[in-house]
Amino acid sequence: MKKLSIMFFTAVFFIAGGIMFYPGQVEATEYSLSMDVHNKYILPGSGAVTYEDAVLQTNLRAEFENGLYLGVMGSAGLRGRDNSLGGDEIDLTAGWKTQAFGLNMDMGLTYLNYIDMGNRSVVSDALMPYLEVSKDYKLTSTQSINPYIRHEQVFVTDGDGNGSYSYLGVRHTWSPEMIARLSLRSDFAIAYDSGAYGDEEGFNALYTGRADYKLTSHLVVSPLIVKVGAPLSGIDGRNTNASVGAGLAYNF
């Protein structure tokens, strides 16, 4: 665990150094704060449920004009202090977005700290480098799609459980003309789980859909967020899981 922690904070140091010493003036172009509530926690990649009750998930993110970004995600199970195993988590992310050969590139590192409010370890923490390649297509004046491939490599800090998630997916955005401030977003992917965190190896179908309504130039309300995870093959004893939620986001 100590070695992986040193690796992560070393990476953050170099990324922060890149922000400070990048040629020209580099300023954060956007800060955002979002808070979502879900009736259960569905783990990205595997589609499995790690927490059967409501969770509050808060994200703070800073993006810079050279494509670098930093983020913190905190998840808290709402069952209570001593009964939130699997719902409490803090993720630290440092990444970089750019374009090459007409494609969108997104790469970075996330340190996943799985905790609970009683300071008992749930599973091993993990370090997760990731790479995503995508392409934007405009379908109509109100609809666009973003097909992508993504790979996440999971290195657990203690014991077994190293593995990866590989995604092939497409994102769709529709902003209907009759409701000017409404955006309907969906993300569908087939994910291959190589056995990360000790789970069974196999394929999962993953879906996230959300309705976002822009109340002001800074405030966005999401009255409905739906997540679904369904095993496709090679995974025994795992059920199809679904969650619903709502949220809001403020862009500074």
- Which CATH number covers residue 226? 2.40.160.40
Q: Show Cβ contacts of residue 50 under 8 Å, excluding neighbours closer than 6 positions.
A: 41, 42, 43, 86, 87
Given this model, what pLDDT does residue 123 score?
59
pLDDT of residue 212: 98
Is the pLDDT confidence value at 132 over 50?
Answer: yes
CB-CB contact of 245 with 34 (8 Å): no
Q: Is the pLDDT of residue 18 over 90?
A: no
Exposed, middle or buried: residue 106 (CB in 10 Å: 0-12, 13-18, 19+)? Answer: middle
Find the Cα–Cα–Cα–Cα dihedral 246, 153, 103, 229, rounded to 10°: -40
pTM of the model: 0.85
- Which carries the bigger pLDDT value, residue 20 or residue 96? 96
Task: With a cut of 90, say whether residue 11 has pLDDT above it.
Answer: no
> Between 149 and 9, whose confidence is greater?
149
In which domain, by residue range, is 211 found? Answer: 2-251
Tell me how far apart the alpha carbons of residues 57 and 60 are, in angstroms, rounded to a whole number: 10
Residues 116-129 have a mean pLDDT of: 65
Q: What is the pLDDT of residues 180-212, one digit of tens each?
A: 899 999 999 999 999 888 788 889 999 999 999
3 state SS for 136-203:
CEECCCCEEEEEEEEEEEEEECCCCCCEEEEEEEEEEEECCCCCCCEEEEEEEEEEEECCHHHCCCEE
> Into how many domains does the chain fold?
1
pLDDT at 1: 46
Exposed, middle or buried: residue 228 (CB in 10 Å: 0-12, 13-18, 19+)?
middle
Give the pLDDT confidence score for residue 119 in this predicted structure: 42
Phi-psi region of 234 (alpha: psi -120 to 50; beta: other; left: phi over 0): left
Structure tokens at 124: 């091993």
Q: How many CA atoms lie within 13 A of 89 on its CB side?
A: 25
CB half-sphere exposure, 227, CA atoms < 13 A: 19
Residue type, 21: F
d(CA 2, CA 170): 37
Q: Give tens-digit pLDDT for 24-72.
A: 455 668 899 999 999 999 888 888 888 888 999 999 999 998 999 999 9
178 by Cβ neighbours in 10 Å (0-12 / 13-18 / 19+) ranks as: exposed
Q: Which tokens sit at 163?
A: 């593995």
Residue 68, pLDDT score: 94
CB atoms under 10 Å from CB of 179, counted, come to: 11
Q: Which token pair is 1?
A: 């665990």
Query: What pLDDT score does 48 carry?
Result: 83
Coil/strand/helix, residue 84: coil
